[in-house]
């Protein structure tokens, strides 16, 4: 299935999420409206809310609360993007200028805070303490992941284990939370909730691994950001870590220096080293392994079109080109 075909399984729900997002974005402060709308409607695949919708329906949820839950996950994700772009000094996302580039760093941070607090207001309206517990833990883990990533920056000795720890907290945890709260809304038994939590964690990890590989092999126009952004920020992602371990001495020295100093002076040479040294292939294999585990985690769910949609979403996460 294409992503569009997966969305067709929950077309009405997906459209309802858009309406909720538009309504909940409203603020009496004009600048908040402008910035939040700018980033929310800047494109993006909306994989996280789509996953929530599919998982809730796969668990037999019949109400409307999954619509609000999907919007909550998207708001939290968007808040992290606003903060990330400020921390990273990014100027391009999804093919256009970042919010911090247009409105300034201070505004972006504060509107990110607005989106976080709005998400928690919406959670209160769901009146499910279990959901509050899951999301509170997830947002705390995301913050820890951001700090760990900052600690790893410019550190050429970052291990694969430390790198995966950042992904687990910073990216995978929100996918995990989204799938898990869908099970809660569907009043699914604990073993289903645990299975969907594993599914979310593995698909989130796969998604980030592919993202990090694309930074060294995608077409910049379709990727929607500058190639080599991770390298410019001194981020030791898995393709670089693997190349450091398996490249020749000259390549290792070049990559180490690039990580420690940042910048794109040797981007072409490093890109070739990452590819020739198997860094991209290794990262893709790791991503496929995560997808295989995500698919296995879906086994306890009843066979429905929504379960198949979750399976196809996992496959899309690793097969995408941007």
Domain boundaries, the chain: 3-319
Q: How many helices (H) and strands (E) does the chain have?
A: 18, 2
Q: How far is CA 232 from CA 215, 229, 237, 258, 260, in A?
A: 11, 5, 12, 8, 10
pTM comes to 0.94
**pLDDT in the model for residue 61:** 96
**pLDDT in the model for residue 26:** 87
- Phi and psi torsions of 187, nearest 5°: 50, 40
| CA 51/CA 128 separation, integer angstroms | 20
Going by the DSSP 8-state scheme, the letter that residue 97 receives in this structure is E
Please tell me the least confidently modeled range out of 54-68, 83-97, 170-184, 247-261: 83-97
| CA 305/CA 22 separation, integer angstroms | 28
CATH 1.10.600.10 fits 3-319, yes or no: yes
What residues pair up with 93 in beta bridges, in sequence order?
A: 96
pLDDT tops 60 at residue 222 = no
**pLDDT in the model for residue 229:** 80
pLDDT tens-digit series, residues 196-210: 999 999 999 999 999
Please tell me the least confidently modeled range out of 12-16, 62-66, 74-78, 230-234: 230-234
User: What band does 224 get if pLDDT is binned at 50, 70 and 90?
Assistant: low
Say what angle helices 160-167 and 129-152 make with each other, to 10 degrees. Answer: 140
pLDDT tens-digit series, residues 47-105: 999 999 999 999 999 999 999 999 999 999 999 999 999 998 888 877 788 999 999 99
- In this prediction, residues 250-277 reach a mean pLDDT of 88
Instruction: Write 265-272 long-range contacts (CB < 8 A, 24+).
Output: 267/227, 267/228, 267/231, 270/216, 270/231, 270/240, 270/243, 271/216, 271/217, 271/228
């Amino acid at each position: 299935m294409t992503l569009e075909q997966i969305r067709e399984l929950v077309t009405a729900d997906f459209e309802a999420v858009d309406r909720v997002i538009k309504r909940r974005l409203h603020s009496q402060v004009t600048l908040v409206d402008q910035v939040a709308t700018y980033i929310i409607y800047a494109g993006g695949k909306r994989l996280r809310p789509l996953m929530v919708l599919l998982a809730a329906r796969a668990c037999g949820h019949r109400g409307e609360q999954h619509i609000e839950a999907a919007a909550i996950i998207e708001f939290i994700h968007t808040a992290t993007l606003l903060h990330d772009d400020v921390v990273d000094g990014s100027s391009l996302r999804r093919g256009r200028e970042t919010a911090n580039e247009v409105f300034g760093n201070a505004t972006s941070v504060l509107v990110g805070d607005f989106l976080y607090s709005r998400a928690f207001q919406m959670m209160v309206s769901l009146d499910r303490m279990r959901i509050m517990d899951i999301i509170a833990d997830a947002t705390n883990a995301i913050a820890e992941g951001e700090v760990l990533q900052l600690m790893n920056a410019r550190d050429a000795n970052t291990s694969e284990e430390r790198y995966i720890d950042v992904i687990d907290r910073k990216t995978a945890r929100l996918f995990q939370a989204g799938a898990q709260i869908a099970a809660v809304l569907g009043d699914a038994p604990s073993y289903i909730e645990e299975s969907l939590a594993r599914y979310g964690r593995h698909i989130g990890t796969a998604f980030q691994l592919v993202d990090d590989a694309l930074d060294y092999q995608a077409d910049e126009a379709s990727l929607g950001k500058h190639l080599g952004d991770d390298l410019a920020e001194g981020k030791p992602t898995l393709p670089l870590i693997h190349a450091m371990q398996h490249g020749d001495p000259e390549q290792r020295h070049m990559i180490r220096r690039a990580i420690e100093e940042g910048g794109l002076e040797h981007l072409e040479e490093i890109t070739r080293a990452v590819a020739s040294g198997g860094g991209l292939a290794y990262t893709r294999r790791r991503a496929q392994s995560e997808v295989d585990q995500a698919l296995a985690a879906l086994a306890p769910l009843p066979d429905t079109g929504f379960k198949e949609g979750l399976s196809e979403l996992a496959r899309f996460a690793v097969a995408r080109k941007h």
